[in-house]
Structure 1
Amino acid sequence: MRPFFKYTGYTLLTIVLLLLLYLGSAWVLSHLSVKAEANTAHQVPIYIKTNPVHTDLILPVKTELKDWSESILYTNTRTCDTTFSYIAFGWGDKGFYLETPTWADLKASTAFKAAFWLSSSAVHTNYLKKVKEGKNCVKVELSNEQYQRLITFIQNSLQTTANGQPIAISAAKPYGDHDAFYEAKGKYSLFHTCNTWANNALKSCGQKACWWTPFANGIEYQYGK
């Protein structure tokens, strides 16, 4: 039995050390800043909205560069209401989005698959009538060129049909009356989370960002400084 306990102890110690390395790397790299591009025009307002575990990017529904309602269809929401001014985008693990409406519904199998590249991904969209700025919802203004880069980043995150339309997940149960889920590209993992996606989106359009972060508080730190 002694060799069993010895190797069990080594295994547990290795797991603990790897977890500490992960958390330490996340803390350090999320506190290192990618600077925003300087001297750019303020033409398109977007919002960065965080909660303790997740980050959404909120964009205007219609600008001269993009009308999101032409691809993220109002008819894919419960009410089909067309009177919204903003749309929120969040990328994440498909199993978590579809099978975990509340934390009480979280299954160990869902969490394990999400952590280790074993599940597919989805984009959650939510139409909003207005956006309230605050500690957890920060406004930034992009130039038209930067916003076009952000549009491209989001479009490249979505799986599409042969004619370029995002693929709605019809079997998904929405969280509310004005949201919908779409098939996405990429796999969620401990190293590429919903917050990593949002952070990469900010990098793509020349905004302040973390070097790397799996957690929402990294983005909060950058915009709370």
Structure 2
Amino acid sequence: MRLLSRALRLLMPAFAVFVALLMGGTLVPRHADFRPTPDGVPIFVVSNGMHTDVVLPLREPRTGQDWLQRLGQPALTARFGQYEYVAFGWGNERFYLESYGGKFPKAGTVLRALLPGPTLMHVDFYRHAPRAGARVVPLRISVAQYQRLTGYVEQSFAPDSVGRWTLRNEAGYSPEDFFFYARGRYHALRTCNDWTNQALGRSGIRAALKAPLAASVLYQARRGAEKKTVR
């Protein structure tokens, strides 16, 4: 016990420094010069307090992007053809699946999520655009930025042997959301919010250097949204 106690005392300062550096990444922006595009593609960064998603137009005529066609699920096309937006999120498979019914995952699941584990894409259909608010940041981005963003989202899905995206479950938390198999491993340094943050940053949109929490993602996205638009 003495050895364990001593080891913990030695590790705590290092852990505190690690957390400080991680959280400090929230305040350091990538693409600080980002400006919204007035007639650009409307997107939204949305949070439920813990997770973040990017909400995109279901169809975008300037790029020809049609998410229902890309998902390749005839049943979803029939059901959601009149909807206007679709949200994408990425996260730990067990954490997602144990959250059904509004439940919080077991402690063991939370701890295991610190280590590399399998992931899912969460796809949620919106009948209309979400309203701006404390947990919803609207942005207007250029066509080129949107194309990079859609490319990032597409690359996050895990295709089957013939290149199709595969449903993990026939239903999600509601009748309007679903889970697909995803690429990548979830762990303490690669979280659901880090995925959203990377989606923005790699597309040329203002994002945090590191975003372990939903608030980190929203903070930098909102700072970007508040900048004067590009003319």
The two structures have a TM-score, normalised by structure 1, of 0.87
Query: Which residue identity does 1:75 align to in structure 2?
Result: A
| Residue equivalent to 1:99 | 98
Aligned to 1:202: 200
Instruction: Provide closer, same or farther for how the CA distance between residues 108 and 51 of structure 1 changes in structure 2, counting only shifts above 3 A.
Output: same
1:133 corresponding residue in structure 2: 132
1:190 pairs with 183, 188, 191, which one?
188
Kept in 2: contact 1:76–1:168 (CA 8 A): no
- Alpha-carbon RMSD across the aligned residues, in angstroms, is 2.3
Partner SS state of residue 46, structure 1: strand
8 Å Cα contact 2:119/2:183 also seen in 1:
yes
1:28 partnered with 2:24: yes
Contact 1:74/1:81 (<8 A) preserved: no
User: Are the counterparts in 2 of residues 47 and 139 from structure 1 also a CA contact under 8 Å?
Assistant: yes
1:15 Cα deviation after fit: 4.9
| Structure 1 residue 67 displacement after superposition | 0.2
1:201-224 residue CA offsets vs partner (Å, 9 max, x unmatched): 001211110011111111222234
Structure 2 residue 50 is matched with structure 1 residue 53: yes
**Letter of the structure 2 residue corresponding to residue 135 of structure 1:** A
| 8 Å Cα contact 1:127/1:178 also seen in 2 | yes
Cα separation, partners in 2 of 1:70 and 1:215, compared to 1, 3 Å? same
- Work out the number of aligned pairs and report it: 218
TM-score by length of 2: 0.85
Unpaired runs of at least 5, structure 2: 224-231
1:74 Cα shift? 6.3
Three-state SS of the structure 2 residue aligned to 1:200 is helix
User: What SS does the aligned partner of 2:100 have?
Assistant: coil
Percent identity (aligned): 27
1:14 Cα offset (Å): 4.2
* Structure 1 residue 165 displacement after superposition: 2.1
Corresponding residue number in structure 2 for 1:62: 59
Aligned to 1:71: 70
One-letter amino acid of the counterpart of residue 211, structure 2: T
Q: Which amino acid letter does the alignment assign opposite residue 99 of structure 2? A: T
Instruction: Name the residue aligned to 2:81.
Output: 82
